[in-house]
Amino acid sequence: MTLLTIENLDVDLGGQPILDNIHLTLGRGEIVTIVGPNGSGKTTLLKTIIGALSPAWGRIRRSPGLVMGYVPQRLHLDATLPMTVDRFMRLPGRHSRAGIDQALESAGAAGLGKLQMSSLSGGQFQRILLARALLGSPDLLILDEATQGLDQQGVIDFYHQLESVRHELGCGVLMVSHELHVVMRTSDRVVCLNRSICCEGTPEGVASSAAYQTLFGQGVPDALAVYHHDHSPRPTLQELAS
């Protein structure tokens, strides 16, 4: 079942073309990751999908009654705003105690409800953002570099959590990420973006494509090999992507 269809999408910011002729579809249960260099329009694409920016051309069709859960790239909480985790979870909607506990549990943040948002560690904060996005059982989860500022273990844990959430809810996931090594392992499909979509497909296919190699250079697979050294002595790209 298709959750989201994007056709011929152009987006301009301040007169500058940021996205050019984007086509994208996303179905239920699918994890699609957008990769691309800085300034390639990844965040702009997500913001257009959630309705924070309007397209200059083309259109975005959401399946009727689509519920979106959104995890922003960065959330700055002003120090003058007192906010407990529980209160944050109920913004803007009302949710039952059980629903909130369930979402916190799913995101690996059980028992944090009474804390002030300002007292959370970076990892806890990201989990709370994920938990809030899970409330109301979204059909589509949208994550913008949700693991920014986490250490390696934190990143791995976060994506494990995401996988189990996907199985639990059966939702589609659309995310932007810089963690190429993890992305390649957890995504069903990878979209390589640089103002327009330069290649798209299975992680294996994208990783071996010329366009991807040009964008990210030859150094990337090596970085992956070092990272996975403790799992297997000499991983192939296929293994990395599996």
Partner 1 sequence: MILDDFLVRAALAGIGVALAAAPLGCFVVWRRMAYFGDATAHAAVLGVALSLVLSTSILAGVLVTSLIMATLVSSLSGRGYAMDTLLGVMAHSALALGLVAVSFVSGVRIDLMAYLFGDILAVGKLDLAIIWAGAVIVLGLMRWRWSSLLTATLNSDLACASGIDPGREQWILTLSLAVVVAVALKVVGVLLIAALLIIPAATARPFSRTPESMALLAALFGAGSTTGGLQAAYWLDTPTGPTIVSLAAVLFMLSSLVGQARARRHAQ
Which residues make up the interface to partner 1 (CB under 8 A)? 47, 50-52, 68-70, 72, 75-78, 80-84, 87-88, 91-93, 116, 142
Comparison of 176 and 192: residue with beta carbon closer to partner 1:
176
DSSP H stretches of helix in the chain? 42-50, 85-89, 97-106, 122-134, 152-169, 180-186, 203-207, 210-216, 219-227, 237-241
Give how far Cα 83 sits from Cα of 72, 74, 88, 116, 123, Å: 18, 17, 6, 6, 18
Q: How far is the CB of 17 from partner 1 (least distance, A)?
A: 20
Q: How far, in Å, CA of 135 to CA of 118, rounded?
A: 21
Comparison of 142 and 197: residue with beta carbon closer to partner 1:
142
Sign for the pseudo-dihedral over CA of 77, 81, 84, 87: negative
Q: How far is the CB of 171 from partner 1 (least distance, A)?
A: 14
DSSP-derived pairing of the beta strands 31-35 and 189-194: parallel
Q: How far is the CB of 31 from partner 1 (least distance, A)?
A: 19
Comparison of 46 and 206: residue with beta carbon closer to partner 1:
46
Q: How far, in Å, CA of 207 to CA of 47, rounded?
A: 26
Comparison of 87 and 167: residue with beta carbon closer to partner 1:
87
Sign for the pseudo-dihedral over CA of 165, 235, 32, 219: positive
Q: How far is the CB of 32 from partner 1 (least distance, A)?
A: 17
Q: How far, in Å, CA of 155 to CA of 145, rounded?
A: 11
Q: How far is the CB of 145 from partner 1 (least distance, A)?
A: 13
Q: How far is the CB of 39 from partner 1 (least distance, A)?
A: 18
Comparison of 73 and 209: residue with beta carbon closer to partner 1:
73
Q: How far, in Å, CA of 34 to CA of 206, rounded?
A: 11
Comparison of 142 and 180: residue with beta carbon closer to partner 1:
142
Q: How far, in Å, CA of 58 to CA of 11, rounded?
A: 9
